[in-house]
Chains A and B, each alone.
Chain A
Amino acid sequence: MKTERDSNPLLLMSGVQKRFGGVVALGGVDLEVRRGEVHALLGENGAGKSTLMKVLSGAHAPDAGECSLDGAPYAPSGPQDALERGVAMIYQELNLAPELTVAQNVLLGREPRGALGWIQADEVQARVASALEALGAEELQPDTLVRDLGPGQRQLVEIARALVEDAQLIVLDEPTSSLSQGDTRRLFEVVKRLTGEGVAVIYISHFLEEVQEIGDRFTVLRDGETVGAGVVRETSLEELVALMAGRSLDEFFPKVPHEPGEVILELEALAGEPLPREASLSLRRGEVLGIAGLVGAGRTELLRALFALEPVRSGEVKLNGAVSPARSPRERLDEGVGLLSEDRKGEGLALDLDLATNATLSHMTPFSRGGWIQPSERRAAVERWIERLGIRCTGPEQRAGDLSGGNQQKAALARLLHHDVDVLLLDEPTRGVDVGAKVEVYRVIGELAAAGKAVLVVSSYLPELFGICDRIAVMHRGVLGPARPVDERTEEEVMSEATRGFKEEVA
C-alpha cells in the first residue's frame, strides 16, 4: 500500500540542539517521521522529549540543527503557526473549555463567520460533524457540554480540533495516562483510522506495552540525544528498556530481601462514603501489600478513608492492635501513617514552593525550636533525602514544579521518609514516572520493607505489583478481596477478579 510519496519522510529533524543557559536540553536529536505511521517517541523524563516537542510546536526555537516538513524548511513561530503548517499537539493536560460545547471547543478560535461576524451555525454543525465522523466518534453530540464528557471523550474532542485544521502530524503526549482501558482501546482505533488516512502520529508514552501494540517505528531519546531508532515489531521490550535506561529488564525490580514481622495495620470492614463498600486486611511490618483493581473500584478511596482524608462510614482501623478512629490526616501522621497522593501535581506537591518545604512540610519539628525554623538544619535534612533518593535538582531551594515527573515523585516520597512513618500508603507511586525513577522507587519500597516498614501499594500496572509485592489483594466494585501471596497468583487471575469479582472462597 506504500506509495512513492510515503518514502519521503513527512518530518525530518537532524542534529537539533537546544540549550537553556548552561543546561543542554537537546544535544543532537534526529527524528524521522513518515506519513501514515505511528512513531513512538520514547525516553525517560528529562530525556528531552518535552523540549523536542516544544521545538516542534514552535514554543522554542532550536539553537542548531535542521527541520523540514514535507520537504520544506520548518521553523514555526509558535503553536498557531505550527497548526497552520499541519502540526497539532495534544498534551497530557487537555486544553478544553469545560463550559463550552463540543462544537464550540472544536472550532474555538476559528469559527466560521458570516458578513457581520455572526457565527454560521450550519457551517459549524457540518464541519464538526465531519471531523467527528472522520474519528468514528459520531456518538459525540456537538452540543454536549465538554464538562459532561469523560476523559476519553475529551481527548477525542481535542483530536477533532486537530482534524478540523487538516493536521498532517498529530503529537499525542501520554494520551492514555488518565484513560480507562476501554477508552484506551477506543483511542487506538482512532489512531489507526487516522494513520490509515495518511496522517502521521507521534506517540509519547511510558507504557511500553502500548507502544508495542500501536507503534510502527520508534525513536529513543536519552540525555537529550537520539540513542536509537527502529521498527517496533522487530525490537523486544528488553531492548527498548535497555535503550531508554541504559539498563536491562532484570534490574527493573530490584529485590531487596525483607521478612514480614508483626501485624501493624488491620482494617475490619472499613467502609467510606460511598466507597469503599467493604475492606478488610491485615498488614505486617516488613511487608509490601499490593491492591489491584480497575480505575473507579474504590482503591484510592480506601487509602483516603484510611488516611482520614475522606469520611469513614463504618468499620474499624486498628494500629498495633488498638482501634484508632483518627479524624484528620494530622492524627494519622502522628500515628505514623503517611499517604502518597496519586495526584502529584494537584495534591501531592505545592509546585510553587521549593523542594525543601515540600519534603518537610508534614514534619518540621526536627529543625524548629518554638516554631522557628533553623534553615541550615533543614537544608542538611533535605540534602540527605536528595542524596538517598537520587533526586536530580539544583538544590533544596529548587521549585518543585521545575523538577521532572520522576523527581517530583521522589520529592513526595521523601516527605514520607522524612516523616519516618511506619505505614506507607502509596497510591500509584510510579504513574507518569520515567523508567529510571521507577526502578529507584521500587528499590526504595524494598528498602523500606527491609527496614521494617509496612507498605500498601495501589497500582493499575500489574507487572509492577507482581514485581514488588509480597501479597496482592484485588478490589472489585468497592469490595476488597483476600490478599494472597504473589507466587500463588497469576496476572490473568488478578485481572479476572478485578473485572468479574471473586470466586467463592474454598473452605
Chain B
Amino acid sequence: MPKRFMSLIGPFIGLILVIVLFGALEPAFLSTRNLMTVAIQTVIVGLGAIGMTFVIVSGGIDLSIGSVIALSSVVTALCVRAGLSPATSVAIGVAAGGMCGALNGWLVTRLSIVPFIVTLGMMGIARGVAKWLSAEQTVTPSPEASEALASLATKTATSPGIWITIALAVAMALVLKRTVFGTYTYALGSNEDTARLCGVPVERTKVWIYTLCGLFGGLGGVMTFARLSVGDPTTAIGKELDVIAAVVIGGASLAGGKGSILGSMVGALLMAALANGCNLTGVPNFVQEILIGAIIVAAVAVDRVRAARA
C-alpha cells in the first residue's frame, strides 16, 4: 500500500511548493476567495482528467477531449436556448460527449486504428460539428434561461461544480481501484495479450473506457457553458493537452498500466494553481507556459529516477 502512495508524493510536493511559493510572494493567493477561484479553474481540466485517466491507464490516448468540451458546451447552450429544462440540457450535453467517446471506442476496436489517430480525427470532427451546429458563432441563450446552469459555477465554497467534481473523482477512483472494470482497465494497459488470454472482454471494455472519457468531456462542456453562459465552438482549444498533462504529472504512464485518479487531480490542481499564481503575481503568460512545460518533463523524470531506484 505505501508504495502506491509513494508515486503520489512527487506531484503533492510540487503542489505544496507552488502554494507555499505563491503564498509567500503574494498573500492574496492564499485567501479563501482566491483558493476557490483555483478550485473552480480546476473543474474543467479536472473532469476531463478523470476520464482521461481511464484512457491512459488502459494504454490509450484521447486527443479529442478539448473539441468534445466545445461541442458539448454548444449543444448545452442550444438546448437551453431552445427552452429545455436545465436537467435535460445537461443530460443532452453530457450525452453528446458520450457519443463522441463511444464512436472513438468503436473505431479503435472495430477498425483496429491506433487511438492517437482515431482521436486526432475526432478532434477535428467534434470541433467541426460544434461550429456547424452553432453556425460558427457563440450560442447565447437569454440570461434568465442560463441562470440555473450558471449557478453550477458560482465562486463560493458551495459552488456545486467543485463538489460535483470532487464527488465524481472519489467515485471514479473507487471504480478504477475496486471494480472488475477498473482492474480490466489496468490489465489492458499493462498487457493486452494477457488480458485477452484471461478472457477479458477487450473490445467491450475499451468502448466503455472511451465512452466514459467522452462523458466526462461532455460534463466539462456543461461546466464550460455554466461558467461562460454561452456555448462557444472555439473554446477549449488545446485543452486536451492540459488534461493529458494533468494525468501524466499525476504519475500515469502513457505506456499504460499505471496512474491514479488522485494523482491526476493533484496534477490538475498543480497546473491551475500555477496559472493562477502567475496571474496574481504578474508573471507574464509565456513564463507560465515555460513553467508548465518544465513541470511535465520534471514530473516524468522524477518518476523515472524513482522507478530506477526501486
Contact = CB atoms under 8 A, between A and B. Distances in A.
A397 B197 contact: no
Contact of A373 (B1, B179, B196): B179
B187 A371 contact: no
Which residue, B180, B191, B196, B257, has most C-beta atoms of chain A within 10 A?
B191
A372 B178 contact: yes
Contact of A347 (B183, B197, B199): B197
A362 B198 contact: yes
Interface residues of A, number: 29
A348 B197 CA distance: 8
Nearest to A378: B183
Contacts of A375: 178
Contact of A353 (B178, B187, B193, B199): B187
Q: Which 8 pairs of residues, A with B, have the shortest CB-CB distance? A: A330-B199, A350-B190, A362-B198, A350-B191, A361-B198, A347-B193, A352-B257, A333-B199
A332 B197 CA distance: 10
A371 B198 CA distance: 17
Interface string B230-263: 0000000000000000000000000001100000
Interface string A347-391: 111111100011001101000100111010000000000000000
B181 interface: yes
A397 B201 contact: no
A430 interface: no
A349 B191 contact: yes
20 contacts: A309-B197, A330-B200, A334-B199, A346-B191, A346-B193, A347-B191, A348-B197, A350-B191, A352-B258, A358-B194, A361-B183, A361-B187, A361-B194, A361-B198, A361-B200, A362-B198, A372-B178, A372-B179, A372-B180, A415-B198
Interface string B192-231: 0111111111000000000000000000000000000000
A350 B180 contact: no
A353 B194 CA distance: 11
A245 to B, nearest CB: 30
B196 A329 contact: yes
Contacts, number: 75
For the residues of B in contact with A, the DSSP-based class is helix
A349 B194 contact: yes
A328 interface: yes
Interface of B: 1, 3, 178-181, 183, 186-187, 190-191, 193-201, 257-258
A294 to B, nearest CB: 24
Nearest to A364: B180
Contact of B179 (A362, A371, A415): A371
A289 interface: no
B178 A309 contact: no
A102 interface: no
Contacts of B257: 350, 352-353
A351 B253 CA distance: 14
A372 B183 CA distance: 10
A446 to B, nearest CB: 24
A306 to B, nearest CB: 13
A334 B201 CA distance: 13
Contacts of A415: 198
A357 B183 CA distance: 7
A362 B3 CA distance: 25
Contacts of A350: 186-187, 190-191, 194-195, 257
A74 B41 CA distance: 58
B123 to A, nearest CB: 29
A309 B187 CA distance: 18
Nearest to A332: B199
